[in-house]
Structure 1
């Protein structure tokens, strides 16, 4: 369901916007009037922004940046400032388990890679956004976490998303007096089109595919609804949290996982 003009006059930065939940958030926000900066390291991000802008009524531009670095996050926020004159809303969607395997099977570099992918982009984006939100007299940050803070074969990813939840609560307490809300949505398993950029560029072995199948079975078995959610079912709650309808909600993580609270 589209709410026309819900974000009219608002500038929204969406990280990880080239595909998946991030793309869905950016496209619907633009359809609801927001001017949207799509930030992603994928080289095709400008094409995605052009596709979204063609459907309006909001504007959409892209910033190709490595959001696993503070420099990349700062670049994205500056691009929004330059394109639209400020930032009102940040939605952080970068993340996702690179590998699924028992914890003992992860190597130390693989553990560090999971933390870089699923925690650091949120930390960096929140830090880079604060000066921009303060200059507008306030704003909103919506961090996309996960209900997979409990689950098999993804302990480093679970730890990273637990960190996102803690960041959300602590930062919300710190900046509430500045008219800045910080909230999170925690999606469960979500059906999405095939990724244009692979989750694991090294490819998955037969053993890894088996471990992944076990994790998928655990996810669907844990949810009361017995299924994955859809992109639409994730985008709607995220944009509710970003909207004025949620103006008295901060420091909270909304689990959107068919009853599986993680």
Structure 2
């Protein structure tokens, strides 16, 4: 197996489940020491899986919708390992699925807090460390849902992730920092251990959600959802030195659905 992350200290946010967990396990398998950040206790299960395979990791429970939470992750990483070479910011995900006019004011704000602010705060927290060490790789997880239906606040948040990633790349290339984003497409994943919205969907909400699925498959040239591993492969590529001449890029991984930058 490749060991692209030997001697690399890698932060992964949202590491308790889904794509974030898949990224963390793959980084550890390729030799990285992984700092696992999440607000769910389930993140300890990811740590146990890594340690069972002989990998090194550290768990940090933090609310990444706050700057204090994001800073606590970087502080813990530096205290334990001395630096941060790779930061993969994965927290986000639409909470509700409905036409825009059906969203309440508080729901719109909650969607932006969930899918934009964790990446804004996490980038802000890790930048001083990467500037000080004059190097690092940041991969922010975006979405092809920047062109989608029934999740407009989420689309706006992920459009913000794309914009900040490209702008940060311009601002900090001179510091040896690469910043890219992966716009994930529809991805098959196990049921979430912690639902974003624990309230059962009404019949109308189920229809709205099914419309998202149908639109996602239709927009994909390959007419299917992808796997977690298909997303992980792209994320690790951009995080690694294999992509040493790539920065300021939003890479769509959606079977040919490119979304919109």
3-state SS of paired residue (1:160): helix
Question: Is there any run of 5+ residues in structure 1 with no aligned partner, and where?
Answer: none
Q: Which whole-Å CA distance do the structure 2 matches of 1:52 and 1:93 have between them? A: 18
RMSD: 0.9
1:31 corresponds to: 29
Is 1:194 equivalent to 2:191 in the alignment? yes
Shift of 1:232: 0.6
Residue number in structure 2 paired with 1:150: 147
Q: 2:138 is matched with which residue: 120, 137, 141?
A: 141
The alignment status of 1:257 with 2:254, answered yes or no, reads yes
Distance 1:74 1:46 in 2: 20
Which position in structure 2 is the counterpart of 1:163?
A: 160
Aligned partner of residue 174 in structure 2, secondary structure: helix
Output one character per residue of 1:177-216: Cα deviation in whole Å (capped at 9) or x when no partner: 0000000111100001111000212332221111000111
- 2:41 matches 1:46: no
CA displacement at 1:217 relative to structure 2 = 0.4
CA contact (8 A) 1:50 1:61 kept: no
Residue deviations 1:123-175 (CA, integer Å, cap 9, x gap): 00000001121232210100000011011100000000000000001111000
Which 4+ stretches in 1 moved above 4 angstroms? none
In structure 2, which of residues 7, 10, 19 is the aligned counterpart of residue 9 of structure 1? 7
Once the two structures are overlaid, the 10-residue window that deviates more, 161-170 or 126-135, is 126-135
Work out whether 1:75 is the aligned partner of 2:72. Answer: yes
Which among 67, 86, 107 is matched to residue 89 of structure 1? 86
Aligned to 1:114: 111
1:27-48 per-residue CA deviation (whole Å, 9 max, x = no partner) reads 0000000000010000221232
Q: Which runs of 5+ in 2 are unaligned?
A: none
Q: TM-score, normalised by structure 1?
A: 0.97
Q: Where do residues 197-236 of structure 1 align in structure 2 (5 Å cutoff)?
A: 197-236=194-233
